[in-house]
């Protein structure tokens, strides 16, 4: 009984993968995300989803860095001296 369910599950995953591929191919920014080193057919759509395709969402690069959590942390030297 479980094998039948797993086969159904695997077929569902295949349908989702095919739909994701089709939708990704229709995105204007796919060229950008596909050009990232190491970003293949599986990772590129995920990166697009993570950052989004609305370029007006971020007015400058630092906003994107802050959103993604890769912005450099700013530490006040005054705060360190007072500790």
Per-residue pLDDT of 44-66, as tens digits, reads 999 898 888 888 888 888 888 88
| Stated pTM of the model | 0.62
Domain count, the chain: 1
Domain range for 57 is 2-82
CA 16/CA 42 separation, integer angstroms: 12
CA 34/CA 43 separation, integer angstroms: 9
pLDDT digits (tens, 9 = 90+) for 6-32: 999 999 999 999 999 999 999 988 998
pLDDT surpassing 90 at residue 79: no
In angstroms, the first-to-last Cα distance of the chain is 63
């Amino acid at each position: 009984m479980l094998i039948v369910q797993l086969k159904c599950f695997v077929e569902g995953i295949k349908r989702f993968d095919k739909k994701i591929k089709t939708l990704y191919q229709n995105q204007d920014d796919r060229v950008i995300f596909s050009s990232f080193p190491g970003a293949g057919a599986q990772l590129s759509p995920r990166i697009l989803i993570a950052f989004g395709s609305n370029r007006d969402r971020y007015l400058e690069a630092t906003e994107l860095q802050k959103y993604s959590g890769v912005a450099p942390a700013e530490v006040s030297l005054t705060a360190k001296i007072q500790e």
